[in-house]
Chain A
Amino acid sequence: MLENVVLTRRHYVPWRLRVRNFTGGIASGLVIAFAILVAAGVSPGAIVNEFIVQVFLNSRGLAQTVTTATPLIMVGLGAAAALKLRFWNIGVGGQVWLGALGSTWIAINDIGPPEMRLPLMLAVSVVAGSAWIAIPVFFKLRYGVNEIIMTLLLEYIAFRLVQHLVFGPWQDPNTSFPVSEHLDSIERLGRLGWGNAHSGIWIALGAGVLMWLLMERSRFGYYAEAIGLNPVTAKGTGLPVTLTIVLAVLLSGGLAGLAGGTIVAGAEYRLTQFLGQGYTFSAIVIAFIARFRPIPIVITAFVIAGIFTAGETLKVFYSLSEAIVILIESVILFSVLVSEFFSSFRIRVLKTAPAK
């Protein structure tokens, strides 16, 4: 069986093929998801309505997708900045938490002049995210400590730290819920007047453009590329290996922190118990699907945000269980990842089977 099917690795992968396979992957994922939903008792017409019309063609759905995409773009860019240099930051969520924590700290303590409050909040979220990842980068470069374990565990620590604050010193005295006080209006990112979408999307898109310039046009990006692909060669040719790694990794933490800051200032208006959860997984998936390249990251983040939006509506309106929603999201992501295989390999069927 399959004896005359031959796999050959492609030497060049044309971008048209990559786009075709990416869309093909999403399409086949949607087909499988469709089957699962029909089996779960949702009528086919309703599925088409939810997935296509509500998410991408309906203004409200699109607004929700843009809102969800805002932090996803930033964490995707952040994850890619470190992963590209083979610094396995799998604690992106931890840096998101620290960013959220930093901006909340500025806001609830009313630090700085009111007109500078919002920029200061965002700046502190960047610094807080960078500081959180500075710990593993220091230990890795100085003592060779494994960054995978450190970034992962620091995410748990960050999560517990936030729980401590929202249940303790930062808990809103006006409620018994584990949330901080509401932000003042000057501390909020402006709404676009379109669903919940806020001006954080401009920050995210701006970060995308800056990262594109930095990673694909600048000397820094060129060094990063060389170091990621072959660190031994990079060292031997005298590239500033350590400096480049440190800067890229701090940038990674900073972008994740900024995502946390914009969630607080743009979407939630306060620090909540779960606002930073799930970002590590999404960030890494987005970075890998987009092959660490900034523009594809922005596009992928929108697609994934769309899938999330559809999942939410299905959950609410068809009372599907959380498990089904996660299942269909996973099926779609899995299909996209598998489609990569067809970009990397050419499959040929030999006309004659090898001689027996």
Chain B
Amino acid sequence: MAKALELLGLSKAFDGNRVLHLASLEIEWGEVHALLGENGAGKSTIMNIANGVYAADAGEIRVDGRKVDISGPSDATSLGLGMVHQHFKLVKRFSVAENILLSCRRQLSITSVGEAALAVAAKGAEVGFPVKPDAVVGELSIAEQQRVEILKVLLLGAKIVILDEPTAVLTEEESGSVLSFVRNLALHGHAVVLITHKLREVIGYSDRVTVMRYGKTVLKGATANEQTAESLAMHMVGEHMPEIKPLKRQPGEERLVVERLSVSCLNGGVGVNQVNLSVRSGEILGIAGVGGNGQQELMDCLTGLRACSEGIIRLNGRNVTFASVAIRRNGGLRAIPSDRFGSGLVGNMPVFENLGMTRTTSGHYGRGIFFSRARMRQEAEKALAEYGILGATPITPTRLLSGGNAQKLLLARELEEGASILVAHSPTRGLDVRACNAVHTTIRDAVERGAACLLISEDLEEILGLSTRVAVMSHGRIVGEFSVGEATREVIGKLMLGHA
């Protein structure tokens, strides 16, 4: 039997930067094939070539054994290829049926919303993945929107389904559901490509795995259950990652104390409700929880960007409940926001101006009207070396940095002298293994030197791997607190979903 999809010796360069070099991938019918690799390894590029979004500079594509030319997404569709992107291509204000009508009217030869509704309902029932055809897409949960996107691809006649990091935006429970659905698709003869960087998904849900690194295929079509997390990580990164050492330091004095803190929320979110927290020097308190359960409000209230409606915040013993951002920073409070380019860095400023931002207000570069950019640049040079920010100079525009480098830059700025408590929100979101490791090591080292850290994250691995204590947040409340030894995935998972 011919293979479903063969990508042979593909090469591609953008603006002279080689992103794919003779990369290959072979997918069989009826299998879930995991495509694993760090950010920038070329996973998305190779699948975008298969999907006709980019044209390869060299190489060949075979679908079901036949050599094909794919010059656009519509060619890919007619060959039975369909891709579910990370960012859904749905009109949020339209209903499910209207979206289906919009994208599939030609393939299904339908002309009315009613017909579209029937088609999507029938397909949903057929594959055991029901959706409500008249629901407005914008009002559906992310997981439900993803279902619509998957059904759309199936309605377009896709036999080879490519999913780009489908679980990146889902909770544990939802991830399980979509992954078993994917297995089911393969069982019915589809070929499924699962782009991911989560090792557990590879071992638990895939038949075979291909690993890419720096635009090349380094492991091709290996049987997934013969792999271990270590062997896969080794292939992905090309070296062994140092383990994060457990903290040696004993907890010291209280750095951050939060009592009965409540934050009201204007936009229909849950806000923060009567939260009590205490973080000591030498401690990392992890706040686990599904996104949107008050974490952002808690973070903004601690850093001073949002006022609380009730409660007290103490920083190193000092009441800062009503203090400005600047006063809190001077008191040692530093923050790593979840959206590093949106609220941590200024993308259109050079690296050194981002690094020196907080020190300019403190007068470090001059107290008068003018300040010394030259000195700022020299210090940036040092910080770049110290934090291992490779490939950037002080004058590089910050927006050109990779996610990992941007995060290291943010850490370098926030951990400058006087940092005694670090509030970090999803500090490794979207980062590759290597950068993740570097960020965790940096945070750990800062805590080992005597800082305290409040780590807010939706990634349970990160919470369990780094924290000394774990608190679980649900509906704006702290619903459980554990020392790291007694916390299990199951208990925390249930608390996160409010089932306990």
B266-322, CB < 8 A from A: 303, 305
Would you give the shortest CB distance from A101 to chain B, in whole angstroms? 31
Q: Closest Cβ of chain B: how far from A216's Cβ, in Å?
A: 10
Contacts of B357 in A (CB 8 A): 226, 237, 239
Determine if A43 is an interface residue (Cβ-Cβ < 8 Å): no
Residues of A within 8 A of B369 (CB): 218-220
**In the bound complex, do residue B69 and residue A236 qualify as a contact, i.e. CB atoms below 8 Å apart?**
no
Complex: how many Å from CA A264 to CA B114? Answer: 70
CB of B346 within 8 A of CB of A226, answer yes
Interface-located stretch among A71-79, A154-162, A197-205, A227-235: A227-235
Give the contacting residue for A233; candidates B15, B303, B345; CB below 8 A: B345
Question: Is B88 part of the contact surface with A, judged by Cβ < 8 Å?
Answer: no
B366 touches A236 (CB 8 A): no
A236-B305 contact given A12-B397, A217-B370, A226-B357, CB 8 Å threshold: yes
Residues of B within 8 A of A218 (CB): 369-371
Most buried by B among A8, A223, A226: A226
Known A219-B370, A225-B349, A229-B346; contact A238-B329, beta-carbon cutoff 8 A = yes
B400 interface hit (Cβ, 8 Å): yes
Complex Cα spacing A11 to B392, Å: 14
Verify if A16 is at the interface (C-beta below 8 Å from B): no
Beta-carbon contact of B358 and A11 below 8 Å: no
Q: CB-CB < 8 A to A232: which residues of B?
A: 342-343
A-B contact count (CB 8 A): 74
Question: Cβ of B55 and Cβ of A236 under 8 Å apart?
Answer: no
User: How many residues of B are counted as interface, with CB atoms below 8 angstroms from the partner's CB atoms?
Assistant: 32
The interface bits of chain A over 225-269 (1 if a CB of B lies within 8 angstroms of the residue's CB, else 0) are 110011011111111100000000000000000000000000000
A142 contacts B by Cβ under 8 Å: no
Contact status A219-B325, CB under 8 Å: no
Chain A residues positioned under 8 Å from B347 (CB to CB): 229-230
Q: Identify B361's interface contact among A235, A238, A355, CB under 8 A.
A: A238
Size class of A's contact patch? 20 to 34
CB-nearest residue of chain B to A8: B15
Cβ-based interface call for B324 (8 A): yes
Q: Tell me, yes or no, whether B103 is within 8 Å of chain A by CB.
A: no
- A236 and B370 contact, CB distance less than 8 A: no
Whether A230 lies near B346 (C-beta < 8 A) is: yes
- A234 nearest in chain B by CB position: B346
Contact residues in B for A236 (Cβ distance below 8 Å): 303, 305, 325, 335, 337, 343-344
| Residues of chain B within 8 A of A12, CB atoms compared | 397
Closest to A355 in B: B69
Say how far B493's CB is from chain A's closest CB, in angstroms.
31
State which of B55, B328, B349, B371 has its C-beta within 8 Å of the C-beta of A226: B349
> B367 to nearest A CB, angstroms?
9
B348 within 8 Å of A (CB atoms): yes
- Per-residue 0/1 for A334-356: is the Cβ within 8 Å of any B Cβ (1 yes, 0 no)? 00000000000000000000111
User: Contact flags (1/0) for B27-50 with A, using CB distance below 8 Å?
Assistant: 000000000000000000000000
A138 part of interface (Cβ distance < 8 Å): no
Interface flag for B326 (CB, 8 Å): yes
Which B residues lie within 8 Å of A139 (CB)? none
Minimal beta-carbon separation of B56 from chain A (angstroms): 9
Tell me if B71 counts as interface (CB < 8 A to partner A).
yes
The reply to whether B366 and A355 contact each other, CB–CB distance below 8 Å, is no
Q: Which 6 A-B pairs have the closest CB atoms?
A: A238-B326, A238-B325, A232-B343, A354-B55, A230-B346, A355-B69
